[in-house]
Amino acid sequence: MNKLLSSTVVFLSLFTPLTGEENTQIREILITGNDAMQFDLKKFEAKPGETIRLTFKNIGSLPKIAMGHNLVVLKKDVHALSFGQKVLASGGSASNPLPKSLLGDIIAHTNLLGPGESESITFNTPNQSGEYEYVCTFPGHFAMMRGKMIVK
């Protein structure tokens, strides 16, 4: 390729509009979990089909095996309390807080995190308006560690 043609290709690629995912706006949300089994953010709103990058951080100090936390965003009409019970009934444990057999009930999830650890997950909110619960599925935490994503 001659030098002039090569420069033209670079120039055109710099000014070509992006399409698809490259054009998507991503909204950042931070949620923390602590040793008192609480999320700091109990509710947030989102638009249908919005791209969310959710960062979850365990700000506790107790060991992961005793007080690990994850964040699991549930599908519509899947409730945190009943899902937590389903996790336990499916063999959920401190080393397996989210059995693979239950992945069909979720939109997105983090791994189990120990003190000071964080993880970001990126997902699109559902197109259907409504309330979508999120929960920590470490054994027993689901009773207190819950929140809602409200899509409207």
The per-residue pLDDT for 12 is 35
Residue with more model confidence, 20 or 144: 144
On whether residue 50 sits in a domain, the answer given is: yes
> Is residue 68 helix, strand or coil?
coil
Closest CA to 47 of 24, 74, 30: 24
Give me the mean pLDDT over the 78-87 stretch. 98
Residue closest to 81 by CA, chosen among 128, 4, 135, 149: 135
Residue 11 lies in a domain: no
Closest to 141 measured CA to CA, from 100, 108, 94, 101: 94
Residue 2 lies in a domain: no
User: What tens digit of pLDDT does each residue of 33-78 get?
Assistant: 999 999 999 999 999 999 999 999 999 999 999 999 999 999 999 9
Count of domains for the chain? 1
Residue 141 lies in a domain: yes
CATH of the domain at 38: 2.60.40.420
- What is the DSSP pairing of strand 26-33 with strand 72-74? unpaired
7 within a domain of the structure (yes/no): no
Total Cβ atoms within 10 A of residue 149: 22
pTM: 0.84
**For the residues 86-94, what does the mean pLDDT come to?**
96
Is residue 17 predicted with pLDDT exceeding 80?
no
Residue 108 belongs to what domain range?
Answer: 23-151
5 pLDDT more than 60 = no
